[in-house]
Amino acid sequence: AQTVTQSQPEMSVQEAETVTLSCTYDTSESNYYLFWYKQPPSRQMILVIRQEAYKQQNATENRFSVNFQKAAKSFSLKISDSQLGDTAMYFCAFMKHGSYNTDKLIFGTGTRLQVFP
């Protein structure tokens, strides 16, 4: 069974600085997706970034980028130029790529990020 581990329950960063959130996962699959979702105080889960395991290039979305190390099964999220609106709970998630009825998301326990002015 797949597992996702986020070892940092809480982190803080000053506005405009850079912060990196860690995520490791365990799987025997070779083809899968990895995601970072953000959950602000409103509690809606918002997709931040997605990585396909077969792609060697790290995904980037504006100020958000990932460091995907497939051999090490590591998937960290880097937030550059942190903004107050980045304050949220961040969840790392894994999904096996395959037949449509196996697209279940496996979530980590989350990292609470606080951005200070």
Partner 1 sequence: SQTIHQWPATLVQPVGSPLSLECTVEGTSNPNLYWYRQAAGRGLQLLFYSVGIGQISSEVPQNLSASRPQDRQFILSSKKLLLSDSGFYLCAWSTMGDTQYFGPGTRLTVL
Return residues touching partner 1 (CB under 8 A): 33, 35, 37, 42-47, 50, 91, 95, 97-105, 107-110
Q: Which is nearer to partner 1, 98 or 116 (CB)?
A: 98
- List the one residue out of 114, 115, 116, 106 whose CA is nearest residue 23: 106
Exposure string of 80-102, with b = 16+ CB inside 10 Å and e = fewer, is eebeeebbbbbbbbbbbeeeeee
State the nearest-atom distance from the C-beta of 106 to partner 1, in Å.
9
Q: Which is nearer to partner 1, 14 or 60 (CB)?
A: 60
State the nearest-atom distance from the C-beta of 5 to partner 1, in Å.
11
State the nearest-atom distance from the C-beta of 16 to partner 1, in Å.
29
